[in-house]
Amino acid sequence: MPQLYLVPTPIGNLEDITFRAIRILKEADLVLAEDTRKTLILLKHYGIEQKVVSHHSFNEHQTLKTVVGKIRSGLTVALVSDAGTPGISDPGYLLLRECLKDGIKVECLPGPTAFIPALVNSGIPCDRFLFEGFLPHKKGRQTRLKELSEEKTTMVFYESPHRLLKTLEQFCEYFGEDRTACVSRELTKIYEENRRGTLTELKAHFGEKEVRGEIVIVVQGKK
Ligand code: SAM
């Protein structure tokens, strides 16, 4: 039965991919990728020869109908993003919604995503959590921070290295300087770092030198 598969891919270490993900990527009629060059490197690593077509946030709206049409005509399509699980702070949701509307079978494979290892590594309670992803950069940022200052469950944020310090400063302001948090950097890669401490300690640590790499911030909820 033709369908759409959302296929998670490694967030750094190329060994972090499931047997099923590899099989689906091999067997699909078409692979849709955020960055075709990056995906071709991954496919080459696993000896997969596939047709890879671009599907990213800039063309997602325009290509929806074409992709749905292809699946309806009998093709099985696998969607991947640059890293981790499609739809999690990455393109995927719009296509998934369109397929569901059209009665097409959709399946997201379990697999890599950055926020789960960051959450568990943090040592902060992970029985309940709020995945916040990227905070808005400008409009709505302060309002959201104010709302989150009352949040009682553990919060998980994605952040870019050049915004990390400013965000930690704002977290100190809205959540309090003594709030426990953890910054996970470069998960699964050679220079992986999981730095735990209060927000003030983390601000001091990451203020010492230029921060590089990909980052997840985990913050304890309000007591
Ligand atoms: N779809 C991905 C997922 O499932 O995690 C997220 C994609 S989002 C565009 C990219 C963000 O994820 C980065 O800015 C960073 O916050 C986080 N991220 C991805 N890989 C990471 C890694 N190896 N270490 C830490 N954070 C990572």
pLDDT in tens, 168-182: 999 999 999 999 999
Distance 108 CA to ligand 1 centre (A): 18
| Those residues with Cβ within 8 angstroms of residue 31's Cβ, 6 or more apart along the chain or in another chain | 25, 39, 43, 50, 51, 52, 53, 77, 78, 79, 80
pLDDT at residue 117, rounded to an integer? 98
Distance 141 CA to ligand 1 centre (A): 20
Q: What is the pTM of this model?
A: 0.96
pLDDT at residue 60, rounded to an integer? 79
* Cα dihedral 97/71/79/134 (nearest 10): -20
The CATH architecture assigned to 4-108 reads 3-Layer(aba) Sandwich (3.40)
Domain 115-219 class in CATH: alpha beta
Confidence of residue 11 (pLDDT cuts 50, 70, 90): very high
Taken as a whole, the chain contains a residue count of 223
Distance 69 CA to ligand 1 centre (A): 31
Percent of the chain with pLDDT over 90: 94
From-to residues of CATH 3.40.1010.10 in the chain: 4-108
Average pLDDT, the chain: 96
Confidence of residue 51 (pLDDT cuts 50, 70, 90): confident
Ligand 1 is surrounded, with C-beta below 6 A, by: 11-12, 81, 83-85, 88-90, 113-115, 158-160, 184, 186-189, 214-216
Has residue 195 got a pLDDT over 80?
Answer: yes
Mean pLDDT of 57-62: 80
pLDDT at residue 191, rounded to an integer? 96
From-to residues of CATH 3.30.950.10 in the chain: 115-219
Mark 52-87 as b/e (b = at least 16 C-beta within 10 Å): bbebbeeebeebbeebbebbeeeebbbbbbbbbbbb
| Those residues with Cβ within 8 angstroms of residue 130's Cβ, 6 or more apart along the chain or in another chain | 148, 151, 153, 154, 155, 156, 221
Distance 178 CA to ligand 1 centre (A): 26
